[in-house]
A and B are shown apart, each in its own frame.
Chain A
Amino acid sequence: GEDVEQSLFLSVREGDSSVINCTYTDSSSTYLYWYKQEPGAGLQLLTYIFSNMDMKQDQRLTVLLNKKDKHLSLRIADTQTGDSAIYFCAESKAAGSYQLTFGKGTKLSVIP
């Protein structure tokens, strides 16, 4: 199966919280990343978490990591229309590794 899996679509109402989920298969993954891609643009690094952490918060973004279940989530509080984009989860397999394995991306649609 795929190394990194994400659901393809998520739709939320403006002002609600969005939760984008990701599962990975390699227990040796050391860094896990969330990238955002707006239409016609490159990938923008949002945040990343080291595998010995459970949670990381940065303004409206909260990342939760369940290493036992190999599950990563990105919560966006007070979702805005500007948050509409494709969100990619990625993992790196070893400390200091440049190799990132990306999921296929979750398209977030925010309904005004």
Chain B
Amino acid sequence: DAGVIQSPRHEVTEMGQEVTLRCKPISGHNSLFWYRQTMMRGLELLIYFNNNVPIDDSGMPEDRFSAKMPNASFSTLKIQPSEPRDSAVYFCASSFNRYEQYFGPGTRLTVT
């Protein structure tokens, strides 16, 4: 299995631009998670999907952030408009039993 796939691996954009991060979970997994990692705050859960349905989005920082999961094999995290404080590494993880979360390699986002 290829594992969780994320794209792009690196994204550099200017403040105010729209950013879309993509994730393909492991086939057969029914849970998907988006995390953000920064030096100051560590790893934070942004949103959790189960069977393609958003269950908990309480970690989404503000309305500028949105996430979708149109089918079992694809999810997006969108930031519009982006701000410098959104600079971080964004991880997608998937799970088949909620106890074992498998992480993707992450997308390093830099907003200038």
Contact = CB atoms under 8 A, between A and B. Distances in A.
Contact of B103 (A44, A92, A98, A104): A44
A71 B69 CA distance: 37
Interface size class of A (residues with CB under 8 A): 20 to 34
Contacts of A1: none
A8 to B, nearest CB: 11
Interface residues of B, number: 22
B95 A42 contact: no
A103 B101 CA distance: 16
A88 B4 contact: no
B43 interface: yes
Contacts of A7: none
Interface of A: 31, 35, 40-45, 48, 88, 92, 96-100, 102-105
A43 B4 CA distance: 11
16 contacts: A41-B105, A41-B106, A42-B91, A42-B93, A42-B104, A42-B105, A43-B43, A43-B91, A45-B101, A98-B48, A98-B56, A98-B95, A98-B98, A102-B42, A102-B43, A104-B42
Contacts of B55: 98
A93 B35 CA distance: 18
Interface centre among B33, B42, B56, B106 (most CB of A within 10 A): B42
Contacts of B33: 98
